[in-house]
Chains A and B, each alone.
Chain A
Amino acid sequence: MTTAVDTTKPAREAPYEGPLLDVRDLHVEFVTRDGVARAVNGVNYSVRAGETLAVLGESGSGKSVTAQAIMGILDMPPARIPRGEIRFRGQDMLRMGREERRRIRGRKIAMIFQDALSSLNPVLSVGFQLGEMFRAHHGTSRKEAKDKAIELMERVRIPAAKQRVNDYPHQFSGGMRQRIMIAMALALEPDLIIADEPTTALDVTVQAQVMDLLAELQAEYHMGLILITHDLGVVADVADKIAVMYAGRIVETAPVYELYARPAHPYTRGLLDSIPRLDQKGQELYAIKGLPPNLLRIPKGCAFNPRCPRAQDVCRVEVPELFPVTEDDGTALAGRGSACFFWKETLHDR
Chain B
Amino acid sequence: MPDIHDEDSYEPHPKPGVSHLDYAGEQGMAVEQETLVESDVVKREEARSLWGDAWRDLRRRPIFLISAVLILLLVIMAIFPWAFTDADPRKADLVHNYLKRPDWTDFFGAGWFGYDGQGRSIYARVVYGARASITVGICVTAAVTVLGGLAGMIAGYFGGGVDAVISRIIDIFFGIPLLLGALVLLNAFSTRTVWSVVVALGFLGWTQIARVMRGAVLTVKQSDYVVAGRALGAGTGRLMFRHILPNAIAPVIVVATIALGGYIATEATLSFLGIGLQDPTISWGIDISSAQKVIRTAPYVLFFPAAALSVTVLAFIMLGDAVRDALDPKLR
- Residues of A at the B interface (CB closer than 8 Å) are 30-34, 37, 39, 59-60, 64-65, 68, 71-79, 98, 113-114, 118, 196, 291-297
Within residues 221 to 271 of chain B, which ones have a CB less than 8 A from any CB in chain A?
none
Expressed in whole angstroms, the Cα–Cα distance for A73 and B24 within the complex equals: 6
Within residues 1 to 24 of chain B, which ones have a CB less than 8 A from any CB in chain A?
9-12, 14-15, 18, 20, 22-24
B39 touches A293 (CB 8 A): yes
A32-B10, A75-B25 in contact; A65/B37 too (CB < 8 A)?
no
Residues of B within 8 A of A196 (CB): 28
B37 touches A75 (CB 8 A): no
15 additional A-B pairs beyond A34-B37, A78-B12, A293-B39, beta carbons within 8 Å, are A30-B11, A31-B11, A32-B10, A32-B37, A60-B32, A60-B39, A64-B32, A68-B28, A68-B29, A73-B23, A74-B23, A113-B28, A118-B27, A295-B36, A296-B36
Expressed in whole angstroms, the Cα–Cα distance for A291 and B12 within the complex equals: 29
Residues of B within 8 A of A113 (CB): 28
Closest residue of chain B to A65 (Cβ to Cβ) is: B32
B35 touches A59 (CB 8 A): yes
Expressed in whole angstroms, the Cα–Cα distance for A114 and B32 within the complex equals: 13
Chain B interface size band reads: 20 to 34
Closest residue of chain A to B13 (Cβ to Cβ) is: A77
B37 touches A78 (CB 8 A): no
B22 touches A77 (CB 8 A): no
CB distance from A294 to the nearest CB of B (A): 4
7 closest A-B pairs by CB: A75-B23, A73-B25, A294-B40, A295-B36, A78-B11, A33-B10, A75-B26
- Main secondary structure on A side of the interface with B: loop
CB distance from A227 to the nearest CB of B (A): 16
Residues of A within 8 A of B32 (CB): 39, 59-60, 64-65
List 22 contacting pairs A-B, 8 Å CB cutoff, sorted by A.
Answer: A30-B29, A32-B10, A33-B10, A37-B33, A39-B36, A60-B32, A71-B25, A72-B22, A73-B23, A75-B23, A75-B24, A75-B26, A77-B18, A78-B11, A78-B12, A98-B22, A113-B28, A291-B39, A292-B39, A294-B36, A296-B37, A297-B40
- Residues of B at the A interface (CB closer than 8 Å) are 9-12, 14-15, 18, 20, 22-29, 31-33, 35-37, 39-40
Residues of B within 8 A of A114 (CB): 28
A79 touches B40 (CB 8 A): no
Name A33's contact: one of B11, B18, B23, B29 (CB within 8 Å).
B11
Expressed in whole angstroms, the Cα–Cα distance for A114 and B27 within the complex equals: 12
Residues of A within 8 A of B37 (CB): 32, 34, 37, 294-296
A72-B22, A79-B29, A293-B40 in contact; A60/B12 too (CB < 8 A)?
no
A294 touches B39 (CB 8 A): yes
A32-B10, A32-B33, A37-B33 in contact; A74/B25 too (CB < 8 A)?
yes
Expressed in whole angstroms, the Cα–Cα distance for A76 and B25 within the complex equals: 10
Name A77's contact: one of B9, B15, B28, B39 (CB within 8 Å).
B15
A74 touches B29 (CB 8 A): yes
Residues of A within 8 A of B15 (CB): 77
Expressed in whole angstroms, the Cα–Cα distance for A154 and B29 within the complex equals: 33
Expressed in whole angstroms, the Cα–Cα distance for A67 and B188 within the complex equals: 68
Expressed in whole angstroms, the Cα–Cα distance for A89 and B31 within the complex equals: 31
Expressed in whole angstroms, the Cα–Cα distance for A79 and B11 within the complex equals: 10
A68-B29, A77-B15 in contact; A37/B22 too (CB < 8 A)?
no
Residues of B within 8 A of A37 (CB): 33, 36-37
CB distance from B4 to the nearest CB of A (A): 16
A37-B37, A59-B35 in contact; A77/B12 too (CB < 8 A)?
yes
Closest residue of chain A to B38 (Cβ to Cβ) is: A294
Residues of A within 8 A of B22 (CB): 72-73, 76, 98
Closest residue of chain B to A71 (Cβ to Cβ) is: B25
CB distance from A293 to the nearest CB of B (A): 7
Expressed in whole angstroms, the Cα–Cα distance for A39 and B37 within the complex equals: 11
CB distance from A98 to the nearest CB of B (A): 7
